[in-house]
Amino acid sequence: MFEEIVSRLSEVKIVPVVTVFDKDEAVKLAHSLVNRGYSAVEFAFRSATGAESDFIKAGECIQAVRKLCPKMLCGAGTVINPKLAELAKNSGAQFVMSPGFNPATVEWCIKNDMAIFPGVNSPSQVEEALMYGIDVLKFFPAEISGGVKMLKALGGPFPTVKFIPTGGIDAANADDYLACKNVIAVGGSWVCQIR
């Protein structure tokens, strides 16, 4: 399953990141993205208050999009603990992204056959991911962690590792990231700001 998700992300190249708590709005947004040529989306489990009800609503958005927009590859983002990973899986998310590398979250996902792209921004974190057998990683926050130069530097000691950079990526620099041979896709919220 993990390889299939990686393959699809490699094809889509750009993964819009959205924060939505209304099912109808989520479905409308997903259809709009498909009509504009996008076939993947990451629903962020983000809330200004950290309210569990917001995370549940985000999960309901994933469920609705999986049902009503089946062509869309749906992921859950900002998955910072096993509880959110479980919510993502139960909501029908096909993959999860986390901003950092939390061993407990990674272990839960591996145990429960959930594709995870944990966030890293240093060689030590890449090594830790490799210890878990994960060689496709989120690179976050990309721009302030060295951006394209850092990705090229990581390519030396880790030639088989691939990245999905997010954080500070927009229409002006996305192509620079996608030109890196160790980048399979980029993620960002700028896509949904262009309607």
Identify the pLDDT of residue 31: 95
> Cα separation of 183 and 178, whole Å?
6
Query: Active site includes 138?
Result: yes
Each residue's pLDDT tens digit, 165-190: 999 999 999 999 999 999 999 999 99
Which residue positions in the chain have pLDDT lower than 50? 194-195
Query: Of the residues 138, 152, 162, 181, which is catalytic?
Result: 138
Q: What angle do CA 109, 169, 64 make, to 5 degrees?
A: 50
Query: Active site includes 107?
Result: no
CA torsion angle for 115, 96, 18, 71 (degrees, to 10)?
20
Where do we find the tokens 């590398």?
Answer: 101
Identify the pLDDT of residue 169: 97
Identify the pLDDT of residue 48: 82
Identify the pLDDT of residue 51: 87
Identify the pLDDT of residue 63: 98
Nearest to 34 by CA among 4, 94, 74, 77: 74
Query: Of the residues 42, 127, 143, 162, which is catalytic?
Result: 42
> Cα separation of 33 and 191, whole Å?
9
Strands 95-97 and 162-165: unpaired
Identify the pLDDT of residue 195: 45
Identify the pLDDT of residue 56: 96
